[in-house]
Structures are given as C-alpha cells and as structure tokens.
Amino acid sequence: MGARVYNTAARRWQGVGPYYAMFPTGFADSVVARYTTPGDIVFDPFAGRGTAVFSAAHQGREGIGIEINPVGWVYGKTKLRPAAQSEVAVRFHELGRLAPNYHSAAEALPTFFHHCYSRRTREFLLAARENLDWRKSSVDRTAMALLLVYLHGKRGQALSNQMMQTKAMAPDYAVRWWCERGLVPPDLDPVDFLLSRLGWRYAKGAPSGGRSEMHLGDSEQRISQVHATLMQRQEKVRLLLTSPPYFALTNYHYDQWVRLWVLGGPPNANRVVGSHDLRGKFESSTRYRTLLRNVFGSASKLMAERSTIYVRTGLGEVTLDATLRALREVFPDHRLDTTMQPYSKPTQTRLFGDSSVKAGEIDVVMTSN
C-alpha cells in the first residue's frame, strides 16, 4: 500500500482519533460508495469513533451513529462539526494559563502519571479535565478530541512517555516497562505541542457534516430517538454499516482508561460501573445475544424496503453465531452472503504473549431480495 495522502479536509479529519478495533477508513469509504447514492442515510448503532458516519457525511450522504463510549463519541461528534481553529487555539492558551493552579493536584496523582507525563503536562491535563465542557461546547469538544488524540503514543509524537496510541496499558506494567528501559516523560510545553498539531489538522480546512449526527448512549435505548426523528421526516435508512464489539475480546474501559480519566473518570484502569461499563453486555453470552437481537431488531424498523445490511464481525464462536442468528431472525427477507477477511497484520494480543495466527474477521452482507 502507498503512503497515506492528506490533501483534503476530509482526509485530515477522518482518522481522528485512535481507537481500539476501529474501522479502517478506506473500508468504510468503499462500502458507503458501493451501496448508497448521495442523499441516502447510513446508520451505525455501534459507531466507535464514527468512521462510518463520517464516511457517509463526506461522500454526500447522511450518517447517523450511536456510541456508548464517550471517547469514541467525542471523536465522532468533533469530526462532523469541528469548531473554528482560532477558537480552539484560544482555548488551549486559556488552559495553559490555568494549568499552574493545578500544581498540588498534579503532584498528588498516582505514580503512573508521574512516569507517563511531565509536571507541566500533568497540570495541563488536570486543567483540561476540569474546565473543558466537552458534552455541550463545540469548542471545548474539539479541544478535547485533539488532546485525546495525542494523549499517549510514540515518543516525540504524543504528550506521554512511550506507549501505544490506540490502547492504554495497565499502570503497573507501564511503569515497570519504562523504568527497566530508563524512559522518562517528555518535558514539552503542552500548549505549543497542541497548537502545532492544530495547525496541521486545519491546514486543508474543516469538514462539514451536514445533517449527520453522533448520539452518545446505549443503542438499546437511543435507537428509539433515531426512529422518532426519521419517522417525523418520513425517511428511511439505506445502509446499516456496523461492527458490533466482539464477545469477550476487549474491555472498552480498560483499553481507554487514560482517556476516560481525562473525561472525568477515575485515575486507574479498574472497571467502573456506569454508562461505559460494558461487562454485562459483552462478556455474558446470554446478554450479548440479547443485545444483538435487540439492536438489530430496532434497527430493522429504520430500514428502507430496499436496503443493505453490512456487518463486519469476528470469527469467535459466540460472536459469529450470535451475529448470524440475530441477522437472520431480524432480516428474513434479505439474502445473506459472507466474505472472509483474514488479518493482514499481527493482532494486539501479541502484547500479552499470544502471537498465534488468528482466524481474522468476516463480512456479512444482506441485501433485499
């Protein structure tokens, strides 16, 4: 594959932000282009960072997504309607001025944060955590989205000590790894760092999401809101494009715990009870099967008579069986075809000593008869 090209606003924004098990942007673009025409509606009830929704928007369709994890929602919502660059820059400067007020709080953070971030960065993160109203303010949400993108990653490319960009590691493991290698956090000015990234992101302009929308919440509850809106408008969905979380494969709090901390969560990787504690949904086979039946069942009420359902899922026994059963039950009048999608790169299980070859994924495509 050739080098990525970032010569348009859409190309510079579609990759915001790093997210475990995210849709490849090129994949979403190709599916939307193949199965829809301009003006059609594309729906993703497990939207993640909003890749399918953004793909629909920048190709002249309307994307509608629902995401339960606030990290993904911040990314997806921001990409559709980023605030003005100048306003975001002002906000970063304001946070920089507020940061010294958090000196004591920065010193009191757990050991992980002292090894992961410099003092100046810890203070800045605490200022952002307390002052950015990312739920209600477009400017604050855009600032938060870009901060989350660079919260951790490779040395020199992020605010943190060396760490994966897509997935946060366990605090004890990370500290031990850094200490064994003598790695210390980069002592950089977080405002200057973020402003430089801000300039690159906006260099080709900012995308416009049109009527596309990202909803924060549980699909089992929020689809009814989408249904009411489309009923009022007398419109239907042409393409359901999604990838449900795979059964017992990942933990969305653990994977994103540092970013969730910046959004107001606890300063550790411990599981928490709340809107993004997904253990009951994705680690109980009975609950997982019920989840898929409920979500796909509710989604079926949104679909046009002639429509396509495109689901990328895993080959794990429960994941695949639950997905196929739910889809066949909910869409009995659609023809079902499958295409194998073997992994082209090592999976992230290698981080935990499992380097065995994985079976890959499968695309389930259902079209109207």
pLDDT bin (cut points 50, 70, 90) of residue 283 is low
> Residue 275 and residue 278: Cα distance in Å, rounded?
8
> Residue 360 and residue 234: Cα distance in Å, rounded?
39
Number of Cβ within 10 Å of residue 2's Cβ equals: 4
- Span 33-58, pLDDT tens digits: 999 999 999 999 999 999 999 999 99
> Residue 54 and residue 62: Cα distance in Å, rounded?
9
Question: Is residue 53 within 8 Å of residue 63, measured between CB atoms?
Answer: yes
Distance from the first to the final alpha carbon of the chain: 36
> Residue 281 and residue 284: Cα distance in Å, rounded?
6
- Span 187-210, pLDDT tens digits: 999 999 999 999 999 999 999 999
pLDDT bin (cut points 50, 70, 90) of residue 236 is very high
Domains of the chain with CATH codes: 15-66+210-248+283-368 (3.40.50.150), 85-202 (no CATH)
pLDDT of residue 110: 97
3-state DSSP of 295-319? HHHHHHCCEEEEEEEEEEEECCHHH
What phi, psi does 242 have (nearest 5°)? -155, 170
pLDDT above 90 (res 248): no
pLDDT above 70 (res 82): yes
pLDDT of residue 210: 94
pLDDT above 60 (res 358): no
Q: What is the mean pLDDT of the chain?
A: 91
> Residue 255 and residue 190: Cα distance in Å, rounded?
23
- Span 95-117, pLDDT tens digits: 999 999 999 999 999 999 999 99
Burial 247-272, CB ≥16 within 10 A → b, else e: bebebbbbbbbbbbbbbebebebeee
* DSSP structural state of residue 17: S
pLDDT above 70 (res 278): no
